[in-house]
C-alpha cells in the first residue's frame, strides 16, 4: 500500500443547523483502493461525502486531498482537482439529454478531443446510454439513470470517485452490472473509489477496506474481508 493517503479525513465534524450529523469522522483512502463506508440509515454516510465535496461545511477537523487541505476549497473547484461524486439518488439533470448530462460532467474541461474520447469510452462502458443519447435523462429507467450518473462523473476524469449508494432501488441484475463497472473503472484506470453503501454485503465484497459509521462516528475499520466475517457486523448489517 502506498505510503501517502490520497484522501484523508481528520476528526471531521459537520452539522445541519442544530443537528450534528458528523461527530469526528476520521478515515484514510489510499491511491487505487476501493474503500467502503457502511452504516445504517441516517448514520452520516451521505453527509461524509457531501462534506468532502464542499457542499456541507466542516465545523471542525480537516480534509486532506493529495496532502493539501481542501476544507476551505469551494465545491466547484474540486472536480478540477480530480474529486467527483456520484450522489445519492443519482441526481441527473432530468430535462437535459443523456448527451448533455455527460457533457456537463466535463464542464470544467476545455480539451475538446479529450472530452470526445472520454465520451466514447463512457458509451462503450454503457452502450445503453449511447442508444438513448438524445433522450431526456428523466425518461431513463432507474438503472440507466444510475449508469448516466456514473458516466457523468467519469467525464470529469476523477482521480477519486465518491459513490453514494449506487445500488439503491435497483434490481439485482442491474446492481451486479453496476458493480462490475465500478471494478473495471478501478482496475483499468486506477481510479480510487470511496463507496458508500447500505448494502454491506455488496460493498464489502467489492472493497479492499471498510469503515463502519454509526451516528456520525467511525466505530470500526478493517480490511473488507475481515469485516465481512465479523460476527457483530454480520448481525447488525448483514441481517443474520
Residues of this chain that interact with Mg ion (CB under 5 A) are 46, 88
CA 192 to chain centre: 10
Distance between CA atoms of residues 131 and 162, nearest Å: 26
Stretch that binds other proteins, among 22-30, 74-82, 180-188, 215-223 (CB under 8 A): 74-82
Span 123-182, contacts to other proteins by CB under 8 A: 134, 136, 152, 156
Could you tell me where the beta strands, DSSP code E, fall in the chain? 7-16, 19-29, 34-39, 60-65, 68-69, 83-86, 160-164, 192-197, 209-214, 217-223
Span 186-225, contacts to ligand ADP by CB under 6 A: none
Task: Please report which helix (H) or strand (E) contains residue 105, including its range.
Answer: helix 98-105
Shortest distance, position 8 Cβ to Mg ion, whole Å? 21
Contact partners, residue 72, CB within 8 Å, separation at least 6:
none
* DSSP one-letter code for 137: G
Find the binder of ligand ADP among 6, 8, 39, 159 (CB under 6 A): 39
Please report whether residue 47 would count as binding other proteins according to CB under 8 A. Answer: no
With CB under 5 to 8 Å by kind, the binding choice for 63 among Mg ion, ligand ADP, other proteins, none is none
Find the binder of ligand ADP among 19, 74, 173, 231 (CB under 6 A): 19
Shortest distance, position 52 Cβ to other proteins, whole Å? 11
Stretch that binds other proteins, among 22-30, 98-106, 177-185, 200-208 (CB under 8 A): 98-106
Distance between CA atoms of residues 9 and 108, nearest Å: 25
Please report whether residue 21 would count as binding ligand ADP according to CB under 6 A. Answer: yes
Amino acid at each position: 500500500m502506498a505510503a501517502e493517503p490520497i484522501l484523508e479525513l481528520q476528526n471531521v465534524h459537520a452539522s445541519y443547523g442544530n443537528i450534528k450529523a458528523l461527530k469526528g469522522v476520521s478515515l484514510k483512502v489510499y491511491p487505487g483502493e476501493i474503500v467502503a463506508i457502511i452504516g445504517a440509515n441516517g448514520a452520516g454516510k451521505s453527509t461524509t461525502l457531501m462534506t468532502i465535496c464542499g457542499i456541507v461545511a466542516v465545523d471542525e477537523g480537516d480534509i486532506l486531498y493529495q496532502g493539501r487541505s481542501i476544507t476551505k476549497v469551494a465545491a466547484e473547484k474540486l472536480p478540477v482537482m480530480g474529486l467527483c461524486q456520484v450522489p445519492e439518488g443519482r441526481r441527473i439533470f432530468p430535462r437535459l439529454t443523456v448527451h448533455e448530462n455527460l457533457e456537463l460532467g466535463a464542464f470544467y474541461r476545455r480539451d475538446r478531443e479529450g472530452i470526445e474520447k472520454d465520451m466514447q469510452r463512457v458509451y462503450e462502458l454503457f452502450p445503453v446510454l449511447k442508444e438513448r443519447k438524445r433522450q431526456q435523462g428523466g425518461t431513463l429507467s432507474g438503472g440507466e439513470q444510475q449508469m448516466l450518473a456514473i458516466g457523468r462523473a467519469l467525464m470529469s476524469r476523477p482521480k477519486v470517485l465518491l459513490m453514494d449508494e449506487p445500488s439503491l432501488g435497483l434490481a439485482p441484475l442491474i446492481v451486479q452490472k453496476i458493480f462490475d463497472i465500478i471494478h473495471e473503472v478501478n482496475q483499468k484506470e486506477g481510479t480510487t473509489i470511496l463507496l458508500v453503501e447500505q448494502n454491506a454485503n455488496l460493498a464489502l465484497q467489492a472493497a479492499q477496506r471498510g469503515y463502519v459509521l454509526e451516528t456520525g462516528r467511525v466505530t470500526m475499520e478493517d480490511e473488507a474481508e475481515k469485516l465481512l466475517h465479523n460476527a457483530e457486523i454480520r448481525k447488525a448489517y448483514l441481517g443474520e
